[in-house]
Every structure is written in C-alpha cells, then in structure tokens.
A and B are shown apart, each in its own frame.
Chain A
Amino acid sequence: MSAAPPRPEEPLVPKRRNTELLLSLFAVAIAMFAYANVGLADNGKLPAGMWGYGAGLAAVVVVANLLIRYAAPYADPLFLPLAIFLNGIGLVLIHRLDIYDSETFVALHKVDPVKYHTAPTGSTTNQLMFTALGIIALAGVLLMIKDHRILQRYAYISMVAGLFLVAVPAVLPASISSANGAKSWIRFPGGVSIQPAEFGKLLLVSFFAAFLMAKRDALRVASRRVFGLNIPRGRDMGPIAVCWVLAMLILVFETDLGVSLMFFGAFVVLLYIATERTSWLVFGVTAFIGGAVFIAETVPHVQQRVNNWLHPFNGEICAAANGKNCPSDQISQSIYGFATGGIFGKGLDQGRPWLVGFAKNADFILVTVGEELGMVGLFALMMVYTLFVMRGFKTALLIRDNYGKLLAAGLSVTFALQVFITAGGVMRVIPLTGLPMPFLAAGGSALVANWVVVALLIRLSDSARRPLPPAIPLSDDELRAMRLAAAQRMPSNAVQGRHAQPAAPQGPDGPPRPHPLAQPGLGQSGLGQTGLSDPGGPGGPGGPGDPTPPGAAEATQAMPVRPAGAAGSAGAGDPTQAVPAQPRGYGEQTMMRAGEATQAIQTTPGPNSEPEQGPTESYTPVFEDEEDDVRTRQTPAPGANPGDAPGRPSPSERRYGP
C-alpha cells in the first residue's frame, strides 16, 4: 500500500446539549408557573410543595440531559424540552382536576359521611410516578439500544408482540378491558390499568418500517399505470389487505376507531414513504374509509359514536325529556367547555372542565385546556405538538438508513395521528375515540409509551446528526486492491481498522462491517431472501452513489423491471458496485440516498458501465447545511474517470449542523 494522505480531523458538529438543558428548564419553569397559577386561583396561596416539585422536575431534567450527553450526544435538542413541557402541563391539568374531585368529596362528605367516606385518590401522584417511570424508560431505551438498527432484527417478534398487545383487550372479557366505551384497556386487580395498544403501536411501527424497507422494491416498481395512477399488482396487495382486515377487526371488536385509524394510517403512510407511490395512499385511504363507513352502519356501538358525532346535542335533549338509554352527552359538554373558554380562556382553576365526564382521562383533558387556557393556550399546545412531530420528520429526513427513516417517520406520523384523532374527537372534527392525548392525559401506560417514543426519536436523531467517522481518501493502490477483492467476491477488508467507528453499527450477527459504506441494510433486499435478522446480508456493500449528472434519473425509471426476488443476489453478484467509484471524504455517504443503493443494485446494467446514479431531481442532501454541501463539492462530469475528481474540500472547511 502506498502512503495514505494525512488523516483528517474530527469534524465539529454542535451537539446542542446546553440548549436542550436550558429549554428543558424553561419548560419546567412554565409548568411551575401554571402550577402556581392553579394554587393562587384555588385559595390565593402558592401550592404547598411547589418548590419541591419544581426542584424535583428540574433534577429529572438534569439527569435526563446528562444521560443524553452520555448516550446520545448528537440528539436533536428539542425532543426532551417539548416532552417535559407537555408532561408538566399535563400534570398541572390533572392536579387542577384533582382539586375539584377532593373539594367535591369534602362537600359530599359533609352531607353524607356514611356514603362518602373514602377520599378520592388523586391522579396527580400516580401521574408523577409514571412520569418518573417514563424517564426511567427513556434511560433504559437510550442505554440499551445503542443503535436503532438493532430493532430491525426483531421485526417479526415486534409484529407478533405488537399484534398481541393491540388485540388482547378485544379478546378479554369486557369487565377487564372496557372503559369509557372502548375496549382498549387491561385492568389488573389493584386498580392498575394499562392500554396495551400504546406499546403495541410502537412495536408495529418498528415492524412496518423493517418490513417495508425490505419489500419496498417489489411494492414500488411492479405496477401498471392506469389513469395516471400506478396500480400495484394484485399479489402485492397482500400486506395492505392484511393490515386493512386487522384495522377493521380492531374497529369492530374494540370499538376503537382511534387505535384502528392510527394503526392503519401509520401503515399506509409508511407504505407511501417507502414506495413513493401515491397509488398506495389512494388505495389505503379508500379502503379504510369504505370499511369504516360500512362498519359504522352495521355495528351498533360504532354507529352510536358516529351518531353522537353528527348530533352532539341529542344526548342532552333526550335526557331533558326524561328519555331512556340516552346517548352520551360528552361531546356537547366538551363543546360547551371550548365555547366557554373563548379566546383567552377562563384561567386555570377558574372554569368548569369537570362537567365533562372523565375530564382527566384520555382525550377530554383537552377540554380543560380549551376552557381554562382558551384558544390561545390550545394553539400554543398544538404548536408544541407540531414542533415535536416536525422534529421527528426532520430526523427522518436526516437519518441515513432506510429503516431509521421509516421508523422515525412512522413514530412521527403515529404521534401526529394520535394528536389529530384525540383532539379531533373532542373538537368534533371526527367521531370521538378513546385515545389518550399524548403526554397530557392521566394514564400510566400511555405516558411511559410516549417517553419511549421520545427515547427512540432521541436515539434516531442522534444517529442522524452524528457525523460519520472521518473517511480517509483511498490511494490508488487501495482502490485497485479493493476492486480486485470485490471482483473475487471476497469481502473486502482492505480498509478494516482504519476508520474509527463511533457507535459502530456493527452488523448484528456478522463480523464487523468492512467499510463504513457497507451500512447494514443498504443493500438489503427482500425479506424472503435474507431474513430480517441479517440486515448485513449478502447484499453487502452497496454504495455506488455519488450524485451524478442530471438525466440519470430518467434512465433509472426506464430500466427494465427486475422481479423482487432477484434483487438480493443482484447486489452480491455485481462486483463493481462494491467498489467506491471515487475517493471518499467523510460525509460522502450521507449524500447518498439510501434508496439509491437498492435501485442501483436492481438496475445495474453491467460492470464498468456508466455508474448508476441517484436521480438528480430528487437529490436531497441529508445534511442540515444543505447549500454548504452543494457548494463545496463538485459534480464530476458525466463519464469522468471516477478516480480523478479533484477538489474534495478539506475536512476543516466543512461544517456540520446548523
């Protein structure tokens, strides 16, 4: 080997951990301000233990921040503060409703001490406990899952477990599983009840991501074009059909439009993201609406919910006329709450949100926001949710591997759908469902599950923003050696050990990956061929893609379609693809769209031909400093010798992060 060029320095990427800490403390301060507000409105005094709670929450924040500093130093700095804010406001709202409960009890106790002898147990303490549990779950996830791609290995286990968790309330007797009209709970003796679907949805999203990543090629390419839509082949409809049936079963057996919609919505959206085919969206949405409408008209309890949605005041009209079996008046009560709040709200502890039954639980906690904080407060809350979701999507955009993209997008979509479904239910945009408002509603399992979402997004955003290890330009000798090695179908280990690999994405079960380019999963093809538990697979190093001249994209589209089953072997059997076409700087890989790798494998015409290029029209640099990236690198002319592309920017010129 000839002498290698000097080793580049570590790139500087701002980690933003101090920003995160400050923002989180600010979120704690807002929650404490609201808490003080409740106390002052209630009895004119600051609530007892306010400073204690504040200090406790601040300590939790500091611990979480330190943990993230250690376990995910490059994570997006907004997830933790946003989650702390939502959780804190949720605690205040529950505390506010607890005050009413205990006051009612005192009043009732005075009238009838025999009947009302046990004081209600406040939900605030519970919620506080589960907040701590949530933070512990966050720590656990961050410490145990060092790399999100590990989850990919457990795709099928995730599916089975996820389906089990989603479906188990439907199977259990109603006495255990039914609450507030939806069969989506498991109640254990001792008053603990959990909503298993909250965890089930995470597992299912993980499974969807892994499954679709593997199947995307088959699903996206094989289609006929009819009326401007790419109609998928009948045999590819299998997964979506299965999902549709499951969603409908949930709807029928659990009365839970929310879980059903979230479950199916997440799948369809991920399908769309994975395949980039609008037709899947059209099919999915049509199928769901069709099925839901049919079920709404045939299954009585679903029908009832729809009727309550269309005619929210029927319940109270019927009750006023002393009718029997009147429909629920929850929606009308919730409408009154929102209307009373008006623009600026009544002020914390100064409205009557408890007029809505189960005000603390699930979706109706939002009525408290609407009535006491008004439209302004509601908008602010919605913006926080939006920000959370958008940071999730940003993570999906930034992250380099397909599974991570789908997982991040899936978690974000699920979260956004849950916000929409719950809030839309109480605001009469859609029929009411039983989903809990993320982070706000009283309910341990949902809160812990949401903290797991935060942990996963932090983990994903850490991988997304983490700079790649400094890559060292290969000398000509090394290049030759690599080509030779690849041609002999041998795993290239020519550069092994030359690259530091922080948080090394070790191939799950194989030897250490030979080259950072050989990201697990990049070259992975059908599940059927390689199995999900072996993301490294024979696909092996599959990264041809330096962006190339415009026009290459069309060529890709026009390529003959290769059946999905052949994709796996194609990558392995194509030696040239294993060889980097150009000297690599670090960060190189990030510019390569993960999708291009698989595309290239499928459509590679043969050795030594024009390198298959990522479609320029959809070229999306994954770095935050997008312009910088484009500016500092030169696009080689078509057909240029890959070896002599000049002017790679020196590492010190490059910036990372915003």
Chain B
Amino acid sequence: MNQPIRRVAIFCFLLIASLLVSSNYLQVVNADSYKSRVGNKRNVYDAFAYPRGQILTADGTVIANSVPSGGLLYKYQRQYPLKSQYGNITGYKSIGYGSTDIESVLDGYLKGTDSSESVANFMDTLTGKSKKGGDVQLTLENSVQQTAITQMTKKIGSVVALDPTTGAILAMYSNPTFDPNGISSNNSDISTPAANALANDKTKPNLNHAIQENYPPGSIFKIVTATAALESGKFTETGATQAPTGPLTWPGSANQLINENGVACPANDLKTALEQSCNSVYGWVADQLGAPTMAEYAQKFGFNNPSLKIPLSVAQSNYPAANQIGSDAVALAQDSVGQNGTQATPLQAAMIAAAVANGGVIMQPYLVDKETAPNGHVTYKGTDHQHELSQAMQPSTAATLDDMMKGVVADGTAQPDAVAGVGMGAKTGTAQRGQGQNPLAWFICYGSANGKHVAVAVMVQTDNPAVRDNVSGAGYAGPVAAAVMKAALGVS
C-alpha cells in the first residue's frame, strides 16, 4: 500500500502547490489590476486614512488641508479654509463624489503615492514616521486673487492674471464659484445635499469658467488679426488701408459688418482702428489676408489646441479652419473680429495679451509652483519646467503691437481704465452673443512695474436687459483688470 500512499502524498502536495500558484497570481501578477477596480473600497479608505498633502498659494496661504474627522474608517477629512475663494482651483476630494481639479490631477502626489515621493516614503517607513501625502504649492498669489475676488463679488465672469515672462498664473477666479467644504464632508448628511445642489445648479459653479468654458472673444481677437496683418507685410501700423470706415459690405450680400454703435471709424489705419476697435477695418483686412493666414495665426496664439494643461485641462479655444470658412468673406470677416465661429477661454485671452507683452513668445501657463514630499524634499519645481508654448509673432511685430495697444490705453477705448505708473497696453472687447442676450465685456491688458510683469484677462457677463446697451469692455471688465494689475504689480 505504500506506493499509492506516496502517490497520494505527491498529489496532496500538488493540490497545495496549486494554491501557491493562485496566490502568486492574485497577489503579484494580477494584483494591480484587481486593486484598482472600483469595487475595492480600500482605495477610498486609503485616501482618507492618513493626512493628505496641503495645497498652498505661492505666499504660503493654506487653501486645502486634511483634518482628523473622528471617524473610524475615514480618519481624515478634507478642509478648505478659504471656502469658495479657491473652489475652482482646488476642486474637491469627496468620499462619495470623487475629486476634481487639482485634487484630482495631482491626486497621486497629494496622496503620497506618486513615484517621485517613493524615496521619501521609504525613508519615512524606516524612521517610523506616520504616513502622509506631499504638499502642492501653487503659483497663485493670494493678494492678487483676493483683489480679483473683491472686484468680481457682484459680477459674473472670470479673471486670469499671469506673468507673461514665465507663464506662472498669478490669479484665476471665476464667479459663480462654490464652497468645496460641503461636498467634501465625510458626513453624508452634509455632502449629499451639497452635491445635489451643485448638480442642479444651472450656472455650473463647480466649473472653472476661466479655463473650461468658451466664449466669443469679440474685439480682443483683433490683436490676432493685427498680428497677421503686420506680419504679412501688406500693412503697416499707421499706413492707411483701403478699408471702409463705415460698415463693411460685400457685393451681392445683404450682410454688413458695422462698428460699435454704428459710428464711423476716424481713420482706416491699423492703429487707429485698434484704438477705436473698428470692425469694418479689421474685417476688411482679414478678407485681404485670407482664411488660411488667419487660421495660422490663431493657432500660433494657442487656438485650436485641444491638449493644453496647466496642469488642469484647458478647454480648446476655437478658430474656424480655413477649409471650413472657404471663400466665405462674410464669415471670415466676422470670425476675425472675434464673432461667429471664434471662441476663446479667458485664459486664452490672457495669453494673447501675454504674447504681446513678452516679445511675441507665449510661455506655457502653469499653476504648480512646487511639490514638496512629506520629508520636506522638493521633488518638483515649476520654475524648472518653464518653456515656450509658441512663438506667436516676431519680436518686431510685438513691439509694434505693444505701441498699438498702449495707444488703446492712451487714446482709445481703454482710456478710463489706465493705471498710472504702469506702461500698460490693453484691448477692450464687447462680444455679441445670441439674440436677447447681453454682450460679454472683455478686457485684456498687460503692464510691468517694480520689475514685475503681468498680463490680465477679464470677462464679465451680465444678464440684466436694462444695461444691455451700456455693456462695454472698458466699463465692466476694465476696472477689474486694472485693480488686478495693480495688485499684481504692487502699485497703488
């Protein structure tokens, strides 16, 4: 009987060996794909089991941190001390509703699981320190942001301020905004109503309108058209053009492109037309340049780029492709004064101003100044990753445009918003929307003082029909931009 006993013993060993193989498969080979499944509640528990990293502004103001929740499973809770002020930057981190914005994009780092933190984590394990996530410091400056918030208190719209020489975003605010503390609460009695309220709010307060929403840019797009015109060699800054000063009409078409309030342009050169924001001149110029040239320059400024990340994803700003416009001169003229098919995010508007301010070079906009591992080691520095996004125009063109935009402040539509002591260039815009809607007020500007540089874009949206005819870039958006610029440059 011994031979069968030996065989059975071997068989039993094989049975247990099959368990070892299975263990290997479950715990090593396939472990990662199992672990990351949605049904694995450990992922959620882990995210709240230890303090997550803080989110700070450039000056060290804490805008998101983790506090003990007193719960058993979810030991920590996310807290946003400044409530709604940075709601659209930080986003939220919720047990039941996931995460958004910085909390989502830099989740790995804040959680402490990013590969750049592994050395620090390992050292902490050795020294017995309790686990926590890495901190993220943003480029936003609280003083500039606060100015933007104050200015936008009773307005709907967005503000973006960035340093044109580096691309660092100094302020980014959009109203309406939301307080992420509600949805991030570990108490579902608080988070559920908050989440429902957010989902049902038609104004989409949890959407960062400054980068995730597109608007018709209106006259601020004339900077792009002017760039194309100057670089084509067909036009000069002050040379007279063949453009009509009155409404632009086309043979065989009932359409016409009128100027603001139907007034005639004082002159038809590029500078004067920019100062007075003459649609008829810039529409005519664009028709002369042709759709391919216009599309090319729109792209150089950053339009039609679907993959811009700061590191938050930025919605694509649109300019119709050449083959889409074809030989439709009416559409081309309208597109080129920022109407019709042209759409831009407020960030894109700021990038237009930044291009002029920075000698034609658009720096990649960025939000993250540095990432600090739990042991204090800085693993990422925004300044090490600054790079050129595109060359929108030649430096000589930029100098010309600088002069033209300063003219807008000195003699043109932006006169009321001039900031003393700052070499400020600007462009206003009043973008028509659909029938029955108030136009959007735009204001982009740039300036430098005290060795600092800033480019600001402000978009204000009004809904009161009573003010419809009074909406203008200079009147509604200009004061906001001027105040933000002062705050950023440190001038009073």
Chain A 374-408, CB within 8 Å of chain B: the 1/0 string?
Answer: 11001100100110011001001100001001100
Stretch in B22-30, B246-254, B298-306 with 4+ CB within 8 Å of A: B22-30
Stretch in B5-13, B223-231, B399-407, B413-421 with 4+ CB within 8 Å of A: B5-13
Stretch in B35-43, B100-108, B367-375 with 4+ CB within 8 Å of A: B35-43
Which of A316, A396, A397, A424 is within 8 Å of B39, CB to CB?
Answer: A316
Are A313 and B22 touching (Cβ within 8 A)?
A: no
Are A336 and B42 touching (Cβ within 8 A)?
A: yes
**What are the residues of chain A within 8 A of B31 when measuring CB–CB?**
338-340, 342
Are A393 and B39 touching (Cβ within 8 A)?
A: no
A9 at the interface (CB under 8 A from B): no
Q: Which residue of A lies closest to B31 (CB)?
A: A339
Contacts A/B (CB < 8 Å), 17 sampled: A273-B8, A274-B1, A316-B38, A339-B35, A340-B31, A342-B27, A370-B26, A375-B24, A379-B20, A386-B12, A402-B1, A405-B2, A405-B5, A406-B1, A427-B22, A429-B22, A595-B1
Which of A332, A352, A412 is within 8 Å of B42, CB to CB?
Answer: A352
Q: How far is the CA of A246 from the CA of B274 in the complex (A)?
A: 96
**What are the residues of chain B within 8 A of A594 when measuring CB–CB?**
1
Stretch in A155-163, A298-306, A415-423, A484-492 with 4+ CB within 8 Å of B: A415-423
Are A273 and B1 touching (Cβ within 8 A)?
A: yes
Contacts A382-B16, A419-B15 aside, 8 further interface pairs with beta carbons under 8 A come to A316-B38, A335-B26, A374-B27, A386-B13, A389-B16, A419-B19, A424-B22, A594-B1
Are A341 and B27 touching (Cβ within 8 A)?
A: yes
**What are the residues of chain B within 8 A of A335 when measuring CB–CB?**
26, 34
Are A272 and B71 touching (Cβ within 8 A)?
A: no
B residues at A contact (CB < 8 Å): 1-6, 8-9, 12-13, 15-16, 18-20, 22-24, 26-28, 30-32, 34-35, 37-42, 45, 71-72
**What are the residues of chain B within 8 A of A378 when measuring CB–CB?**
20, 23, 27
A286 at the interface (CB under 8 A from B): no
Most A Cβ at <10 Å: residue of B23, B42, B71 = B23
Q: A342-B31, A382-B19, A420-B19 are in contact. Are A393 and B26 (CB under 8 A)?
A: no
Are B20 and A382 touching (Cβ within 8 A)?
A: yes
**What are the residues of chain A within 8 A of B24 when measuring CB–CB?**
375
Which of B1, B4, B9, B34 is within 8 Å of A339, CB to CB?
Answer: B34
A392 to chain B, nearest CB (A): 9
Q: A329-B39, A593-B1 are in contact. Are A342 and B16 (CB under 8 A)?
A: no
A residues at B contact (CB < 8 Å): 103-104, 106-107, 269, 272-274, 276, 313, 316-317, 320, 329, 332, 335-336, 338-343, 352, 355, 370, 374-375, 378-379, 382, 385-386, 389-390, 393, 396-397, 402, 405-406, 409, 412-413, 416-417, 419-420, 423-424, 427-429, 593-595, 618, 620, 622
Most A Cβ at <10 Å: residue of B5, B13, B32, B37 = B5
Question: Which 5 pairs of residues, A with B, have the shortest CB-CB distance?
Answer: A339-B34, A316-B39, A416-B12, A393-B9, A107-B72
A462 to chain B, nearest CB (A): 18
Q: How far is the CA of A374 from the CA of B24 in the complex (A)?
A: 10
Q: Which residue of A lies closest to B7 (CB)?
A: A272
B44 to chain A, nearest CB (A): 11
Q: How far is the CA of A171 from the CA of B71 in the complex (A)?
A: 45
Are B5 and A429 touching (Cβ within 8 A)?
A: no
Q: How far is the CA of A338 from the CA of B31 in the complex (A)?
A: 8
**What are the residues of chain A within 8 A of B13 when measuring CB–CB?**
386, 389-390
Which of B27, B30, B39, B41 is within 8 Å of A370, CB to CB?
Answer: B27
Interface SS majority for chain B:
helix
Are A409 and B5 touching (Cβ within 8 A)?
A: yes
Q: A320-B38, A336-B37, A342-B28 are in contact. Are A393 and B18 (CB under 8 A)?
A: no
Q: Which residue of A lies closest to B32 (CB)?
A: A339
Q: How far is the CA of A370 from the CA of B23 in the complex (A)?
A: 8
Are A332 and B39 touching (Cβ within 8 A)?
A: yes
Q: How far is the CA of A106 from the CA of B45 in the complex (A)?
A: 19
B270 to chain A, nearest CB (A): 60
**What are the residues of chain B within 8 A of A397 when measuring CB–CB?**
2, 5-6
Q: A107-B72, A335-B34 are in contact. Are A390 and B18 (CB under 8 A)?
A: no
Q: A340-B42, A420-B16 are in contact. Are A313 and B2 (CB under 8 A)?
A: no
Are A412 and B12 touching (Cβ within 8 A)?
A: yes
Are B1 and A419 touching (Cβ within 8 A)?
A: no
Which of B4, B6, B19, B39 is within 8 Å of A313, CB to CB?
Answer: B39
**What are the residues of chain A within 8 A of B3 when measuring CB–CB?**
276, 618, 620
Q: How far is the CA of A390 from the CA of B11 in the complex (A)?
A: 11
Are B27 and A396 touching (Cβ within 8 A)?
A: no
Are A104 and B27 touching (Cβ within 8 A)?
A: no
Q: How far is the CA of A370 from the CA of B35 in the complex (A)?
A: 14
Q: How far is the CA of A389 from the CA of B8 in the complex (A)?
A: 11
B95 to chain A, nearest CB (A): 15
Q: Which residue of B lies closest to A341 (CB)?
A: B27
Are B22 and A428 touching (Cβ within 8 A)?
A: yes
Q: Which residue of A lies closest to B14 (CB)?
A: A420
**What are the residues of chain B within 8 A of A342 when measuring CB–CB?**
27-28, 31
A464 to chain B, nearest CB (A): 12
Are B27 and A375 touching (Cβ within 8 A)?
A: yes
A551 to chain B, nearest CB (A): 19
Are B16 and A385 touching (Cβ within 8 A)?
A: yes
